[in-house]
Amino acid sequence: MTLLVTGGTGYLGSELVRIAAPEHPRLELRDADAVRHGFEALRPSAVIHTAYRQDDPAVNSDGSAAVAAAAAAVGARLVHISTDLVFDGAKPEPYSEDDEPNPLDDYGRSKLNAERRVLALHPDTLVVRTSLLVGRRRPGRQEQAVLDAARGERELAFFEDEWRSPVLVSDLAAALLELVESDLTGILHVAGAEPMNRYELACEIAAAHGLPSGRLRRGTIAESGVERAANCVLDSSRARSVLSTVPPGVRGRIGSTWRNGSGG
Ligand SMILES: NC(=O)c1ccc[n+]([C@@H]2O[C@H](COP(=O)([O-])OP(=O)(O)OC[C@H]3O[C@@H](n4cnc5c(N)ncnc54)[C@H](OP(=O)(O)O)[C@@H]3O)[C@@H](O)[C@H]2O)c1
């Protein structure tokens, strides 16, 4: 299999690069011709599309459509990464693949749009919706914000009424590498098995980096006045029935990748 990973310098992409050493050229996603030419030159048999920009619908939607069209043109299997934030968080129970998306913000809307365009252009695609990624030795943006707050260098409230399904990036990468070799298509939820709220997760991140949680401030979406999806827990039971590498929860495990000498 010739595997191509988009976003190979990113949080998830760099973990895939570390584990599987795929091709990972930086193809400019807003340039559909560049994407097509890149795919024609490399002729991958499989693609894991992780690249995105939180604040750029053109990258998320048009860029993903360009990847799907190029993958279809060279006959490559496509695994496309999406997000729990396609849901509005109003459902009290975890979201399954059959639940109706209703994103609340531009990011969620661009990712839902991408899902739909990708599946239309390349119907054999597997869309993997996941949740908060944690566990890289070099903190991502959200982890860095937690560490800054834990050190008292930043004023932030962590919502106790915002529930997600955080997943270790190494666990997700292993699952994706298994899924890219499967022939599953459609939408699959692959996230951590243990729901956590933002405050609990912040405490776990701080502890993994050897910081006390005493300075982490609790808050709620309601008192903050922001519009935020409250309960975006993903039900990954379908994934559990097809995967041998099933992501558990992250409690007590966030530092495990670097404590055991691996992890980027
Ligand atoms: N992080 C999370 O907690 C989380 C949660 C749920 C879902 N997801 C999904 O998981 C996927 C990976 O997220 P991540 O956190 O690993 O992303 P990330 O760390 O922000 O990395 C994004 C990658 O995309 C590349 N990229 C951005 N704009 C590009 C463009 N115009 N052309 C080509 N490449 C471009 C970046 O390369 P440059 O730096 O060179 O631009 C980088 O390699 C995304 O699909 C995201 O929606 C993430």
Res 257 pLDDT > 90 = no
DSSP letter string, 10-76: SHHHHHHHHHH--B-----TT-HHHHHHHHHHH--SEEEE----TT-HIIIIIIHHHHHHHHHHTT-
For residue 31 the two structure tokens come to 């340039």
Residues with Cβ within 8 Å of residue 82, at least 6 apart in sequence: 111, 112, 114, 115, 127, 128, 129, 130, 187
Is 262 a residue whose pLDDT tops 60?
no
Over residues 36-40, mean pLDDT: 98
User: What is the mean pLDDT of the segment spanning 148-152?
Assistant: 98
Percent of the chain with pLDDT over 70: 98
Q: What is the pLDDT of residues 51-101, one digit of tens each?
A: 999 999 999 999 999 999 999 999 999 999 999 999 999 999 999 999 999
Please list the residues that pair with 3 across neighbouring strands.
46
Ligand 1 — pocket residues by CB below 6 A? 7, 9-13, 26, 28-30, 50-53, 59, 63, 81, 83, 111, 130-133
Taking the chain, what is the end-to-end CA distance rounded to the nearest angstrom? 24
Strand segments, DSSP code E, in 72-205 are: 77-83, 126-130, 133-134, 157-159, 163-164, 167-168, 186-189, 196-197
- The alpha carbon dihedral of 165, 168, 169, 173 has a sign of negative
pLDDT tens track for 130-148: 999 999 989 999 999 999 9
> How far is ligand 1, taken at its centre, from the CA of residue 15, in Å?
12
Q: Of all protein residues, whose CA lies closest to atom 37 belonging to ligand 1? A: 7
* pLDDT for 259: 76
pLDDT value, residue 263: 61
For domain 3-259, give the fold: Rossmann fold (3.40.50)
| Mutation test residue for ligand 1: of 87, 109, 133, the one with most atoms within 8 Å of CB | 133
Query: 11 an active-site residue?
Result: no
- Provide the residue ranges of all domains of the chain, joining segments of one domain with +: 3-259
Average pLDDT over residues 100-120: 98
**Is pLDDT of 23 > 80?**
yes
Among candidate residues 11, 52, 95, 107, the one labeled active-site is 107
Which long-range contacts (C-beta less than 8 Å, at least 24 apart) are formed by 102-108?
Answer: 104/227, 104/228, 104/229, 105/227, 106/55, 106/57, 107/54, 107/55, 107/60, 107/83, 108/83, 108/229
Reading the block at residue 35, the tokens are: 């994407």
